[in-house]
Amino acid sequence: MTEIEQLMRPNILRLTPYSSARSEFKGEASVWLDANESPFNTPYNRYPDPLQSRIKEKIARIKGLSPDSVFLGAGSDEAIDLLFRVFCIPACDNAVAIEPTYGMYEVCANINDVEYRKVPLDEEFDFDPVDLLAVTDDHTKLLFICSPNNPTGNTFDASKIKYLLDNFRGILVIDEAYIDFSSQDSFLKRLPDYPRLVILQTFSKAWGSAGVRLGMAFASSGIIEVFNKVKYPYNINALTQEYALEILEKEECVKEWVDVLLRERLKLETLLQEFPFVTKVYPSDANFLLVRTRDAAALYNYLQDKGIIVRNRNKITLCSGCLRITVGNAEENRILVEALAIYGK
């Protein structure tokens, strides 16, 4: 039994996956009479590729990986849920994560009846890897690190993450949803060295495609194979697959979008710091800024009345008085700043 198989739930090891019509036949055909589809309304009458092979090949070329290291899900949330379903025995195993961080880790843990252990960041929004490992035990199957972190916006030191990779015996999950906006490198290049590493990325941020709900998970072929076995057969619909193939041809355009947002982030950070009701704008490696204010609720309500929607993080651990503000385009940011200038008078 492999190291990965030893971490998996026994029932998943024994699972015989659903065999779809499109997974049984490989190749070209002129007449399709195998899947009880309608012969009308081409091409949407046909089930999509259950393994999204063409998309994975394109992603693999961009990322410098093998296609068998790529999983596609309905947003990154599908991969997060699969991690719990594959590795965590309900009411027995546990997962560990920093706090504050992306809320779906805890939601998926609760849905799957898995204990979720939070380790608070320090006042600088940093962590000691020794402290994280101290709360793990023989039943800790998953450890989540979101870097750059949501909602704090900071990227964690690579040496601390490497310490976790070298010393944690379960599955280390690095959520890199915002990595395109960071000055630090992705951990993708280290994937071949760590068979228990899973990296999450998304089309929702830098790729400007939140509406299509398409997330990526990168891992060893052994983990990806199990994900494909457990996922629903046609988890990525034909329209999304068609769109993904198109947007992947626009890699240079996406890089330009990122450059624009980085410039806008710097401008917005500078302008926000000038307002007397802003006590701190935290450094960010993401497409948002965490802003500490004198009265987050009042400011949030004021902006809402103006038709400007930001995220109130006031009740989140370590984020008292904070709003999370997404970096928009130049016009959106101008409208925000002008509204804040009126509020400050």
Per-residue pLDDT reduced to its tens digit, 112-126: 999 999 999 999 999
pLDDT digits (tens, 9 = 90+) for 34-91: 888 999 999 999 999 999 999 999 999 999 999 999 999 999 999 999 999 999 999 9
pLDDT-derived band of residue 177, with 50, 70 and 90 as boundaries?
very high
The residue among 21, 150, 139 whose CA lies nearest residue 91 is: 139
Strands 197-202 and 70-73: unpaired
Region 138-160 average pLDDT: 98
**Confidence category of residue 228, pLDDT binned at 50, 70, 90:** very high
Question: Is 33 a residue whose pLDDT tops 90?
Answer: no
Contact criterion met (CB below 8 Å) for 96 and 143: yes
Instruction: Kindly state the tokens that stand for 68.
Output: 């068998």
**120-140 mean pLDDT:** 97
* Residue 175, pLDDT score: 98
- Decide if pLDDT at 31 tops 90: no
Tell which CATH architecture fits domain 252-343: Alpha-Beta Complex (3.90)
Is residue 28 pLDDT above 90, yes or no? no
Pick from 111, 93, 136: nearest CA to 6: 93
Is 235 a residue whose pLDDT tops 80?
yes
Contact 78, 235 (CB under 8 A): yes
Please measure the distance between the N-terminal and C-terminal CA atoms of the chain and give it in whole angstroms.
68
Q: What is the pLDDT of residue 269?
A: 98
pTM: 0.96
Q: Which helix (H) or strand (E) holds 216?
A: strand 215-218
Question: Alpha-carbon distance 108 to 55, whole Å?
Answer: 27
The backbone torsions φ and ψ at residue 79, rounded to the nearest 5 degrees and listed phi first, read: -65, -40
Domain ranges for the chain: 3-19+49-250, 252-343
Unique residue bearing structure tokens 């960071």: 182
Residue 267 has pLDDT above 90, yes or no: yes
Please determine whether the domains at 3-19+49-250 and 252-343 fall in the same fold group of CATH. no
Residue 168 has pLDDT above 80, yes or no: yes
Sequence-distant (≥ 6) Cβ neighbours of residue 6 within 8 angstroms:
none
CB 229 within 8 A of CB 81: no
DSSP string, 170-213: SEEEEE-TTGGG-SSPPSGGGGGG-TTEEEEEESSSTT--GGG-
The CA–CA distances, whole Å, from 265 to 132, 152, 202, 216, 259 equal 31, 15, 20, 25, 10
Question: What is the Cα Rg of the chain in Å?
Answer: 22
Sign of CA dihedral 152, 158, 163, 168: positive
pLDDT at 338 over 80: yes
Q: Could you name the CATH architecture of 3-19+49-250? A: 3-Layer(aba) Sandwich (3.40)
Paired sense of beta strands 115-120 and 94-99, if any? parallel
Q: Could you tell me the pLDDT band of residue 313, with boundaries at 50, 70 and 90?
A: very high
